[in-house]
Amino acid sequence: MFDVPEIDYLAILPLIIVFAGGLIGCLLEGFLHRSRRPNAQLWLSIVTLVAALVAVVWVARDNQGITAAGAVTIDGPTLLIQGLVLMLSIIGLLAMSERLGGTNPDAFTQAGVSVPGSVEEADAVRLGGTTTEVYPLTLLSVGGMMLFPASNDLLLMFIALEVLSLPLYVLSGLARRRRLLSQEASLKYFLLGAFSSAFFLFGAVLLYGYAGSMRLDVIAEAIGTQTVMDGLLVPGILLLAVGLLFKVGAVPFHSWVPDVYQGAPTTVTGFMAACTKVAAFGAMLRLLYVGVEAARLDWQPVLAAVAAVTMVVGAVLTIVQTDVKRILAYSSIAHAGFVLTGLIAMQQVGASSTMFYLMAYGFMTIPAFALVALVRSAGSEATHISQWAGLGQRAPWMAAAFSFLLLAFAGIPLTSGFTGKFAVFAAAIANDYAWLAVIGVLASAVTAYIYFKLIVTLYFGDRKNDTVVVTPSALTTFAVVSGVLITLGLGIAPAPLLDLAANAAHFLR
């Protein structure tokens, strides 16, 4: 009675490559001597990600389609999001691998399982323990992120959600310094993540009850024809949305963001902030544009309200922060609101502006966190604003790059931040959400204040502190420079990528 489904292995080749890379990484962990692991794992991961990226480009040419019994859709948006996740995770991984002259990635503890401050931990440090499992963990998470926007089936989407989340929970808890804070962050993320997953599942079940299937195309068909179980539809959609809104950190599902962003190893935060957001918005596009588009009059106002609240709360809370990582965390909440503004505009322009904003945001976030990780005081990261005072004199390049990224966050013209905001607000205005665009503009005005204050602190602040900026290796330098250049490029000549996003914004249903 069970038919073996047709699977187009070529279309899912990028996924296979990444998962295979992750599994090989696990094997290396078991069989390779620990002194050789850091290099081997780094190169394995990079090669895997680059190969997957090449595969994505190749698939994009002529292997699009719905496969695996209708569970996986490989179409324009999927491929764009997958490509974006891969590119971002490459520079994210490079930043995570920063060793600062040591033999191990500097950000990670040498014994993740040990109790902070315990004898075991001291032993691990003495013996030169490594935590190279971060590489396979990252690869597996990336695999989940790539599957997430491709899921045409709620059950698969749930699995992808868990696959991408579980490694992140672990990664968050592996910071080398301030380990208790890091472990607390990890636990919080896990508990709240589990909580939100439950809502996602509940929503999936309600929609199953409504349409008799978890497949998005079946649900889409049922809307408008089904009448008996009508009451299940909107609650189902909204509960699913809650699961996804949690992942992107929209208000009121944002409380975990600042704590986790602050506690997690800084470079992991960068990776998480950029890639998770991209993947989760990709999944949201799939769910809302393909699955329940016909019922949009029911959910659109709710999401518009969420977007408005997210922008306002994110912006207002950003300006009272005194910790650079928390500033970036709250700013990421505000940015989630900006992306949502584009997303609820619907139509092709909604999808394309959303995806463009994600590109812009991703490439400014990872370098920003990578730079934060370089600012040190007494051996650990110095993240309080006052510790950044006057860095412009001592580390001109770092300060210039960070200031530029802050201008991009603020949405100043000739940076990708401006183009992105322009795109999403234009999409919103064109589709009767002008009020949301106005709130967005005001919210960016509010956040601009703290970004400028930070720039002022960097350049004009009182310099009496012992903060130093460590010299990064080529890995981090590459990650930062490429991010900055892309941010600049998308500001000056965004047309090719706007076109790419517009052309890719056609969903297979």
Partner 1 sequence: MSVLETSVGLALADPSAVRAVEATGTSALAWLLIALPLLGAALLLIGGRATDSFGPLLATLLSWGSFVVGALIVLQLSGLAEDERAMSVPLWDWVTAGDLSVHAGLLIDPLSMAFVLLITFVGSLIHVYSLGYMEHDPDKRRFFAYLNLFVAAMLILVLADSYLLLFVGWEGVGLASYLLIGFWNHNPAYASAANKAFVVNRIGDFALIIAMAYMLATFGGLDFATVHGSAGSASTTILTIIGLLLLLGACGKSAQFPLQSWLGDAMAGPTPVSALIHAATMVTAGVYLVVRSQAIFDLTPEARLAVAVVGAITLLYGAIVGCAKDDIKKALAASTMSQIGYMMLAAGLGPIGYAFAIFHLITHGFFKAGMFLGAGSVMHGMADRVDMRRFGGLSGMMKITWLTFMAGWLAILGVPPFAGFWSKDKIIESAFVDQGNGAWQAWVFGLVALIGAGITAFYMSRLFFMTFHGKARWEDDVDPHESPLTMTVPMIVLAVGSVALGFILSWRGTFASWLEPVTGHVEHHEPVLSVPVIMGLTLVLVIIGGAIAWLRYGRDEVPVVAPVGSFATRAARQDLFQDEFNENFLRRPGASLVAGLEVADDDVIDGGLVGGTSRGLAGVADVVRRAQNGFVRTYALTMLAGIVAILGAVWVIQ
Least distance between partner 1 and beta carbon 469 (Å) = 17
Q: Check: CB of residue 156 under 8 Å from CB of residue 289.
A: no
Nearest CA-CA partner of 450 in 258, 314, 260, 268: 314
Q: What's the closest the beta carbon of residue 321 comes to partner 1, in angstroms?
A: 9
Least distance to partner 1 from the beta carbon of 460, Å? Answer: 3
Give ∠ CA 248-250-251 in degrees, rounded to 5.
160
Within 10 A of 8 (CB to CB), how many other CB atoms are there? 16
Q: How many residues bind to partner 1 according to rule CB under 8 A?
A: 66
The residue written with tokens 């990635």 in the block is 105
Site string for partner 1, 311-340 (x = CB under 8 A): --x--xx-xx--------------------
With a CB cutoff of 8 Å and minimum separation 6, the contacts of 270 are 92, 95, 365, 366, 367, 368, 369, 370
Q: Which is nearer to partner 1, 80 or 448 (CB)?
A: 448
Burial (0-12, 13-18, 19+ Cβ within 10 Å), 116:
middle
Check residue 239 for interaction with partner 1 (CB under 8 A): yes
| CA quadruple 268, 274, 275, 276: dihedral, nearest 10 | 90
- Of positions 165, 266, 353, 476, contacts partner 1 by CB under 8 A: 353
Q: C-alpha angle with apex 274: 162 to 425, nearest 5 degrees? A: 115
Nearer to partner 1, 115 or 442 (CB): 442
Q: Would you count residue 115 as binding partner 1 (CB under 8 A)?
A: no
**Closer to partner 1 at the Cβ: 57 or 495?**
495
Determine the interface stretch with partner 1 among 131-139, 233-241, 268-276, 466-474 (rule: CB under 8 A).
233-241
Q: Exactly one of 205, 452, 478, 488 binds partner 1 (CB under 8 A); which one?
A: 452
Contacts with partner 1, 179-218, as mask; x by CB under 8 A: --------xx--xx--xx--x-------------------
In this chain, which stretch among 137-145, 158-166, 332-340, 416-424 interacts with partner 1, using CB under 8 A?
A: 416-424
Least distance from partner 1 to the Cβ atom of residue 69, Å: 32
CB of 238 to partner 1, least distance (A): 6
- Least distance to partner 1 from the beta carbon of 291, Å? 18
Pattern 251-270, partner 1, x by CB under 8 A: xxx-xx-xx-----------
| Alpha carbons 140 and 136: distance in angstroms, whole number | 6
Tokens 């978890």 locate to 214
Kindly tell me which of 5 and 231 has the beta carbon lying closer to partner 1. 231
Sign of CA dihedral 85, 90, 93, 95: negative
Closer residue to partner 1 (CB): 42 or 349: 349
Pick the binder of partner 1 from 50, 51, 234, 508 (CB under 8 A): 234
CB 348 within 8 A of CB 289: no
Question: Looking at beta carbons only, is 115 or 441 nearer to partner 1?
Answer: 441
Q: Report, in Å, the least distance between residue 55 CB and partner 1.
A: 29
Restricted to residues 354-393, the positions that interact with partner 1 (CB under 8 A) are 356
Residue selected from 32, 69, 159, 438 as contacting partner 1 according to rule CB under 8 A: 438
CB of 39 or CB of 347, closer to partner 1: 347
Beta strands in 239-298 (DSSP E): none
Output the CA–CA distances (angstroms, integers) from residue 395 to 31, 113, 288, 400, 445, in the order listed: 42, 36, 46, 8, 28
DSSP class of 323:
B
Report in angstroms how near the CB of residue 255 gets to partner 1 at its nearest.
Answer: 4
Closer residue to partner 1 in complex, CB, 277/421: 421
- Return the C-alpha torsion angle 228, 231, 235, 237, nearest 10: 40
At residue 240, the 3 state secondary structure works out as helix
Q: Which of 235, 300, 377, 481 binds partner 1 (CB under 8 A)?
A: 235
Residue-wise DSSP of 390-459: THHHH-HHHHHHHHHHHHHHHT-TTSHHHHHHHHHHHHHHHTT-HHHHHHHHHHHHHHHHHHHHHHHHHH
Cα–Cα separations (whole angstroms), residue 194 to 162, 200, 249, 330: 9, 10, 15, 22
How far apart CA 448 and CA 66 sit, in angstroms, is 43
CB atoms within 10 A of CB 201: 17
**To the nearest whole angstrom, how small is the minimum distance from the Cβ of residue 17 to partner 1?**
34
Kindly state the smallest distance separating residue 273's Cβ from partner 1, in Å: 18
Minimum Å distance from CB 422 to partner 1?
6
Q: Out of 111, 425, 472, 479, which residue is the one contacting partner 1 (CB under 8 A)? A: 425
What does the alpha-carbon distance between residue 249 and residue 247 come to, in Å, rounded to a whole number? 5
Residue 68's region, left for phi above 0, alpha for psi from -120 to 50, else beta, is left
We find the least distance from the C-beta atom of residue 65 to partner 1, in angstroms, to be 27
Residues contributing to the site for partner 1 (CB under 8 A):
187-188, 191-192, 195-196, 199, 234-235, 238-239, 242, 246, 251-253, 255-256, 258-259, 298, 301-302, 305-306, 313, 316-317, 319-320, 348-349, 352-353, 356, 412-414, 419, 422-423, 425-427, 429-430, 434, 437-438, 441-442, 445-446, 448-449, 452-453, 456, 459-460, 462, 493-495, 498-499
